[in-house]
Structure 1
Amino acid sequence: MSEAVQSSPLTEREFKGYQRLVYREAGIWLSPAKKALLVGRVARRLRELGRLSLGAYLRRVEEDEAERLRLLEALCTHETHFFREPRHFELLEREVLPRWRARGDTGSGEGRRVRVWSAGCSTGEEPFSLAMVLRHHLPAAEGWDIQILATDLSTCVLERARQALWPVEKAEEIPKHYLRAYMLRGVGSQEGRMKAGPELRALVRFQRVNLNDDDGMVGRFDLVFCRNVLIYFDAASRARAVERLLGHLSPHGLLFLGHAESLSGQGWQVRTVMPTVYAPRLPAGEVARRG
């Protein structure tokens, strides 16, 4: 029998099936209040498939890995901005990067190596905001080696981020001195768009990472940005994600969360640098060298 059947209301049993699948695959818990969001987000795909019913689509995504990924991408919110949550960038510019630069001026080449992870990078505004700030304060001409890893669950938004291309209206979010130094205005067929210059694009690489899976990543990062991602997780999946983030954080690094996220009072071995910014708690008597 063909599965191209007329759409029907989502039953409670079917919704629980979607709940289990999305939680298992992404650590995202769909509360009953999210039933309407689920239906709305997959409606377009159902029409593309010939008005497949929600129940039939659930059976399909259980068996089809590519379709399962499409479902997860449809459910994720990808809204983001350049220089979102300005206090974080002010902390970097006023306190963190001047200290790093001072140490780099007196230390070895290893002291001029910086690694950054932008987790949940969406369409790239966050990692490229970081690239502008870091490149401005830590110039290549002085031997600074900067690498930014940008990751997301969605391959679709990662491809858009990799293009480093945005509507020119986004320029309003970028401080003027960074805009002039690092962004290119499109002409001809690219009119109405702007693109990150080659100096920035060389700093950022992209990778699909699911924070609730064994990501296979190695190494530590001096800065980890994971903002407005943990709010989609329940307590158990949030704990797994935080453990992974802290596991990849340098002993002297900084973890940046979103404005509605916190690690305070939850037993993590971190100290609060400022609200939503955390550093690993160091052994007594040890002074942080970075961050």
Structure 2
Amino acid sequence: MERGTLQVGSGVLSAVSDRDFARFQRLINDEAGIWLAPVKKALLVGRLARRLRELGLDSYGGYFDLVVANEAERIRMLDAICTNETHFFREPRHFEFLCDRVLPAWREEAEAGRRPRRLRVWSAACSTGEEPYTIAMTLLSALQGWDLQILATDLSTKVLARAEAAVWPLEKSREIPDPYLKAYMLKGYGGQEGLMKAGPEIRGLVRFSRLNLTHDNPGLGQFDLVFCRNVLIYFDKETKGKVVDRLLDRLLPHGYLFLGHAESLGGFTNRAKALLPTVYALAPAAKPDR
């Protein structure tokens, strides 16, 4: 095999050139706010080579031209590039914080007539659905009779389709505490053996939509809880600051923002205060009029 080529199937696929990689870098950054460092060239090749083979293309430059001209293919390319690792009850201290401090206080306020029995939650970058369904199980167990609405969004149409189907390998059941598992998950039998599915009680709480965090989304409204975990780490500093502002714009004055374990708002904004590591509320001076 000649240097500079990769054998793909029965054809030969040219290795991605520095010029073409730079073009993909700019496009992916513009579209998704994700910056692929030069060391990520192998990742780009690994994520896109199969698609080039399916299309019968022999160069990344040719695929780039197709992606620029075709919005559907551009979305598919972004689906391939995005990393979508997630688990049920990931970072359990967040759900302990909700169950021990936040939800009991809101129940008391509702019983005293100081707040409606209504809760809106945004699960940003929801991936294959484990996060929003974890939130649904947590809220439904603690707030019986409330109007609970969970908006789950992601850039990837591929993972959104899987999330909406709400079906996972049965091995994932190990991530779910037993009381929640028995109350809200269905075990597959026959042709569905080895799978589990979210029950109708929690599926009915979650609505899915494709959304790009790096773009303005004026129709979202505001939320009591915003989860945007393990996403900011993929953005450069400028994009991260803009996304943080958009997240805080969507947070109600009494609400809470949850980030991933490796993320922080330090150095990006003075609009929020940390209550715990990776748990934030709006700073008093930043609270808008309701």
Q: TM-score range by the shorter chain?
A: over 0.9
The question of whether the paired residues in 2 share the 8 Å contact of 1:120 and 1:153 is answered with: yes
Structure 2 residue identity aligned to 1:205: R
What percent of counterpart residues are identical?
60
The question of whether the paired residues in 2 share the 8 Å contact of 1:220 and 1:250 is answered with: yes
Structure 1 residue identity aligned to 2:103: L
Q: 2:98 aligns to what? A: 92
Write the distance in 2 (CA, Å) between the matches of 1:134 and 1:43. Answer: 42
Write the distance in 2 (CA, Å) between the matches of 1:93 and 1:218. Answer: 26
- Spell out the pairing of 1:33-182 with structure 2 (5 A cutoff): 33-107=39-113, 110-140=115-145, 144-182=146-184
The question of whether the paired residues in 2 share the 8 Å contact of 1:6 and 1:51 is answered with: no
The verdict on how the C-alpha distance between 1:157 and 1:19 changes in structure 2, with shifts beyond 3 A counting, is same
TM-score (norm 2): 0.92
Structure 2 residue identity aligned to 1:70: R
SS for the counterpart of 2:14 is coil
Structure 2 residue identity aligned to 1:126: E
Q: Can you list the C-alpha shifts for 1:26-52, whole angstroms capped at 9, x where unaligned?
A: 111111111111111101111111243
Q: 1:264 aligns to what? A: 266
Write the distance in 2 (CA, Å) between the matches of 1:189 and 1:8. Answer: 42
**Out of 12, 20, 25, which is 1:14 matched to?**
20
**Out of 192, 215, 226, which is 2:194 matched to?**
192
Q: 1:242 aligns to what? A: 244
Write the distance in 2 (CA, Å) between the matches of 1:257 and 1:217. Answer: 23
SS for the counterpart of 1:267 is coil
SS for the counterpart of 2:13 is coil
Q: How many residue pairs end up in the alignment?
A: 278
Unaligned runs of 5+ in 1: 287-291
Write the distance in 1 (CA, Å) between the matches of 2:161 and 2:270. Answer: 34
Unaligned runs of 5+ in 2: 1-10
Q: CA deviation at 1:265?
A: 3.5
The question of whether the paired residues in 2 share the 8 Å contact of 1:264 and 1:272 is answered with: no
SS for the counterpart of 2:116 is helix
The verdict on how the C-alpha distance between 1:177 and 1:277 changes in structure 2, with shifts beyond 3 A counting, is same
Q: CA deviation at 1:127?
A: 0.2
